[in-house]
Amino acid sequence: MTSPAADSSDLDAIVCRTRHLLLDFDGPVCSVFAGLPAHIIADRLRKLFGDHAQLPANVARTPDPIEVFTYAATISTDLATRIEAEMTDQELAAVVTAAPTPYVHDVVTACQNSGRSVSIVSNNSARAVHAYLARHGLDDRISLVVARTSHDPALLKPSPHLITQAVEALDAEPGECTLVGDSVTDVQGARLASVHSIGYANKPGERERLSEAGAGAIINSLADLALKFRARVADPELLQLSLRLQGRTFGAPGLSVPAVNRRTGASSREGKSSQGDPP
Ligand SMILES: [Mg+2]
């Protein structure tokens, strides 16, 4: 297990290198299922298999809607499409009662004030993420949203697909991007995408799991992250980049916008496909 002293120095090193902060949504931004528990959504998704479907024991019992969706995709594209659509509807209902993660607004402010962009990279529905951000006054403070828009679960974390798509849309190098996530799959995806990772250990035992998965640093509270970013002097060049990126979104059909080349200021991604397209 990493010692607290080592953690602090690892976190300092990552913060120094971070120009673009990528936040997983459920956990680091909010508790999506605070009011509508995930296991209830998983039950609703299982009903779409039909009354006589013989589900494997792990799928029949899992409280994780993504696991039900992943199994559906092994049966047929049509079923996966229907399950994904229902999951999106359920997530849209869930974000109405989602609970904001303490200090997440402080992290966003600290990043903005130090010239860093903040984006969301999530396995949750892009529509649900956008709905939450609008509801909590974050929609014009987040540079980019790359989230689920497809019926293909293989595109979701731990695949690096969404993370790499965010890095490319930001016109960034992987080494200047950092993903904050509360799941082992976040850390795995970050490693595959060659971006830094910070594990958000918000439950007992998570610190060990995230550390073993290879997280670059671990935090227990987003307050730790806000303080680190706040302590860094703003780089004027980075600050201009952040201002240019504010308010952009990406990943949901009809919401894609061109990225801005941070070196030239020119639009560089016109016509780029959204997350729903194959990698
Ligand atoms: Mg999460």
Sequence-ordered list of residues with C-beta below 8 angstroms from that of 54, at least 6 positions apart, any chain: none
CA of 26 to the centre of ligand 1 (A): 4
Please check whether residue 260 is in contact with residue 171, taking contact to mean a CB–CB distance below 8 angstroms: yes
CA of 236 to the centre of ligand 1 (A): 32
CA of 130 to the centre of ligand 1 (A): 16
CA of 215 to the centre of ligand 1 (A): 14
Mean pLDDT value of segment 5-27:
88
Please check whether residue 181 is in contact with residue 190, taking contact to mean a CB–CB distance below 8 angstroms: yes
Q: Which fold has domain 4-31+99-251?
A: Rossmann fold (3.40.50)
User: How many Cα atoms occupy the beta-carbon half-sphere of 172 within 13 Å?
Assistant: 32
Q: What tens digit of pLDDT does each residue of 109-148 get?
A: 999 999 999 999 999 999 999 999 999 999 999 999 999 9
Mean pLDDT value of segment 213-228:
96
CA of 92 to the centre of ligand 1 (A): 16
Q: What tens digit of pLDDT does each residue of 255-276 get?
A: 333 333 333 444 333 333 334 3
User: Is pTM beyond 0.85 here?
Assistant: no
CA of 111 to the centre of ligand 1 (A): 20
Q: Could you tell me the two tokens for 43? A: 């039950």
Percent of all residues in the chain with a pLDDT value above 70, rounded to a whole number: 80
CA of 163 to the centre of ligand 1 (A): 14
Which ranges in the chain are annotated with CATH 3.40.50.1000? Answer: 4-31+99-251
Answer whether residue 68 shows pLDDT above 90: yes
CA of 106 to the centre of ligand 1 (A): 19
